[in-house]
């Protein structure tokens, strides 16, 4: 991360930015946990709380956007500080989308809770744990400016994708066994896809951390080199 500034007001703004991003990250992590609790415990009241809590995430998104614009206008950052601000502007979009995906999971859970469960949700909670871990690691990498942690997130995406594919194939088999399973299996497929997309957003954050620290854009596979 950037070294301490002689301008204390500038440093305070940057610290406030990091803290707000961490707070937003903690909120979306909790939304993931609670949306899965709504599913596994068949608790629609918890799901409703997730839906209601999304407004807090949206409010933080607006606050962070405004803070970034203020820093850009008043401080005119350069070099690494400018990369920090541009990274924050992109990260906040990914975090807001993660919150939306958690809400989607909660809403699907409400529907599933009205009908008998299709099967034990063994792999889906595991997928949620992996996605949540990816989010947490990517934010840790941002706060500490740690490229090694960011690269761990990049590598971890393959495991998440493999588990999603396993769940997808299992649910497809349920649908082929009995057409009465189609509605429930489809809802669970959507939930698994939402979790896989959460992992993709965590991947985006990790890629932006590499840009912030190294000044290199690795968002496209042909430009990525983890060893470099």
pLDDT at residue 201 tops 90: yes
CB 108 within 8 A of CB 190: yes
- Among 7-11, 103-107, 197-201, the range scoring the smallest mean pLDDT is 7-11
Residue 194 in this model has a pLDDT that exceeds 90: yes
Q: What stretches of the chain show up as alpha helix (H) in DSSP?
A: 8-40, 44-75, 79-112, 123-144, 147-177, 182-214
User: Which residue's structure tokens are 């997928």?
Assistant: 127
Domain ranges (residues) in the chain: 8-223
Q: Which CATH superfamily is domain 8-223 in?
A: Phosphate transport system protein phou homolog 2; domain 2 (1.20.58.220)
Question: In terms of Cα–Cα distance, which of 121, 107, 127, 95 is closest to 185?
Answer: 121
The stretch 101-111 carries a mean pLDDT of 97
pLDDT at 222 (0 to 100): 53
């Amino acid at each position: 991360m950037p070294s301490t500034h002689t301008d204390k007001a500038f440093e305070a703004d940057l610290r406030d930015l990091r803290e707000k991003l961490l707070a937003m990250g903690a909120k979306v992590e909790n939304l993931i946990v609670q949306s899965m609790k709504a599913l596994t415990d068949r608790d629609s009241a918890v799901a409703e709380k997730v839906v209601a809590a999304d407004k807090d995430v949206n409010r933080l998104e607006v606050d962070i956007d405004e803070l970034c614009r203020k820093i850009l206008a008043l401080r005119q950052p350069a070099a690494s500080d400018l990369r920090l601000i541009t990274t924050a502007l992109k990260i906040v979009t990914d975090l807001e989308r993660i919150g939306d995906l958690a809400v989607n999971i909660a809403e699907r859970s409400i529907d599933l809770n009205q009908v008998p469960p299709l099967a034990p949700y063994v792999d889906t909670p595991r997928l949620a744990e992996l996605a949540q871990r990816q989010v947490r690691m990517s934010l840790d990498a941002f706060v500490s400016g740690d490229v090694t942690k960011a690269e761990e997130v990049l590598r971890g995406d393959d495991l998440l994708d493999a588990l999603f594919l396993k769940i997808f194939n299992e649910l497809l088999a349920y649908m082929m066994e009995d057409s009465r399973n189609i509605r429930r299996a489809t809802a669970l497929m959507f939930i698994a896809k939402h979790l896989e997309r959460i992992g993709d957003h965590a991947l985006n954050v990790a890629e932006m951390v590499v840009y912030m620290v190294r000044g290199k854009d690795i968002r496209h596979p042909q430009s990525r080199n983890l060893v470099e």
